[in-house]
Amino acid sequence: MAELTFRTGTMDAGKSTLALQTNHNHAARGRVGRLFTSHDRAGAALVSSRLGLTAEAHEVADDFDFWRYTVDALTQGARIDYMICDEAQFYTPAQVDQLAKIVDELQIDVFCFGILTDFRTRLFPGSARLVEMADRTEVLQVEALCWCGKRATHNARTEDGVMVTEGEVVVVGDVDGGTPPPQPVHEVEVAYEVLCRQHHRRGLTAARARAVSLSPDPLPFP
């Protein structure tokens, strides 16, 4: 039986690497698949891993219809055994429903990869719908680490080095501290960093931690 699987983790947890590895494993066994992505940091229509691996994919815009795409391809004689859907947090809830329909009605395996929450610590609509609809939701075992060494659980956005908690949900950046792709609307430098809950609450990024004293805060009572 085909399944809708959602594999999730924070940024820098290896989701795209696993997506590419999953595609390789299935293709190596003679299965035929299609890759999809949305807002990849390397550019449109690419699945890219921070390990340097890349693969061409179909770009998923908000008006992309997975069901229509798949039915049209099958009608024209194409073979599709599975679908790899990276950056699935950016998909719309309607698109997630289309993926579930593909699994149920066409018996095509769908593997989705994405993060749960945005930089505001709120669930992405696409990820929330995947949790509701997926046959299996798996948290990646590779743990990203906060600068303090604790397990990172939250995604932080910085603009010109300052952590922000408001703004547009979708702004492409990276977590390696380098210069992100040019943004047509934003002139500031946007980057991302993974933090533990404590330091996300405090807005204490690695750069800010280096700039201030790291002595423990006084207890909130005499």
Catalytic residues, by residue number, are: 87
CA angle centred on 108, ends 102 and 114, rounded to 5°? 75
- Partners of 61 in the β-ladder: none
Residue 47: exposed, middle, or buried by beta-carbon count in 10 A (0-12, 13-18, 19+)? buried
Contact 119, 112 (CB under 8 A): no
Q: Which helix (H) or strand (E) holds 4?
A: strand 4-8
Find all residues with CB under 8 Å of 7, minimum gap 6, and list them.
Answer: 15, 18, 111, 112, 113, 137, 138, 139, 140
